[in-house]
Structure 1
């Protein structure tokens, strides 16, 4: 077993080599590599224990991150100057090692990132729903975990991990592991989670949900009562759990 990290902005975590995407990993995510086979590596993700296969050229020896990206997304520039050429883009939650700070930018191996878009690695946020709100308008992507595309469980996990709260990657595991189950009819409050078979949504408050869903194909607000009726009418069943963190 070898300690490594992800060195591409977003990497698909596959069920099998060159198979379907189950989840995604972000730049700087730590992994344990168990084996390599024809350019593919079987890994386990540090952040949630998710296992699968990634391309081996997306991995490099692990180095300690000093900062993480707290803007929805950011650019790495050639120089500490917003008018210089941008080299790549990173999503919220990516981790980087800083070599210096100058002119309001942190210097990383990718280039210079606006310091206002990052926090030190040991800093956590406090409101997972506010984190999820940063992703409004992000396109829906099955198995997605980044600002460039994510699904319902990815949106929940992004909010939880940013606040230092452990969270599985799949909605079924989230329903099993997160929070305390509430009895039917309990009034929902901000930060609760509603689950359906194969789906999860944040309760934003005032009878409003915030969720990534394939009906709207993005992260959006939706009235809670309307969403419950819509999901039932489209054949995906009733709410299976109401959980409070």
Structure 2
């Protein structure tokens, strides 16, 4: 079976040692564990800042590093969904203790201490992972104290491993977010990123790209069942989430944002460009 290079770290010159015997490469190496230390970091096809963004790695996400270049790029595999690509080495740091909480709102602020008047260190996107080692309170808020040094208001935190009640409700929080190829945050998101992030918040692991999601998620509807909230509608290279039996939510390049529209309109528009629905899949 041919291994997918999006999900397996191998090149003619270098490969993950775990793939030895499955692929050909001049050198095999063990991955070095590191962690994302910036709000979000672009994972690119090639080690250059103008290369296409494939996906994003979020704050606190673990990676395996197979190569680091003198130009400041690391060839990595994300541990959450196994995606492989190049990331700026400056976005990575050593792994510390495991995460205790995740960011449960579209975006929050990481303060240098328990005081909302302090200049924030950075914004943290939904799904970012933090390690809370204590609590503090002032007249304005209660905080989870994170390591390394930082503070996040407690109402924006959820226990790691907990799950949102409904992934569609999570996805609706991205309504109006700009469309960004490979994006996974409120600064920009794409269709499969929206599905992946929303499902992750509901405790459901999903692969990154639409073709992977179409193969892995739910069961295919025969086409005669009435659609319902949470059904996933797939085109080649695109996916959307049904809000009810008629309205589709999707991050798309037509609106250049995450938008709601009647499924019938989306089908008609894409059909006019020669793209038909390939399947509708139901979770659960």
Give the TM-score normalised by the residue count of structure 1: 0.95
Q: Counterpart in 2 of 1:92? A: 126
RMSD after superposition? 1.3
Gap regions ≥5 residues in structure 2: 1-30
Corresponding position: 1:149 with 2:175: no
Partners of 1:236 and 1:134 lie apart in 2 by 31
Report how far residue 151 of structure 1 moved.
Answer: 0.2
Q: Counterpart in 1 of 2:67? A: 35
- 1:82-132 Cα offsets, whole Å, 9 max, x none, are 233222111100011123211111122352211100111121223111111
Higher relative contact order (CA closer than 8 Å, sequence separation 6+): 1
Gap regions ≥5 residues in structure 1: none
Report how far residue 61 of structure 1 moved.
Answer: 1.3
Q: Counterpart in 1 of 2:80? A: 47
What SS does the corresponding residue of 1:229 show, helix, strand or coil?
Answer: helix
Partners of 1:12 and 1:206 lie apart in 2 by 35
| Aligned match for 2:136, one of 91, 96, 102 | 102
Q: Counterpart in 1 of 2:275? A: 237
- Does the 8 A contact of 1:196 with 1:236 survive in 2? no
Corresponding position: 1:81 with 2:118: no
- 1:177-228 Cα offsets, whole Å, 9 max, x none, are 1111111232111111000011000011041111101111111111111111
Partners of 1:185 and 1:201 lie apart in 2 by 19
Aligned length: 244
What SS does the corresponding residue of 1:119 show, helix, strand or coil?
Answer: strand
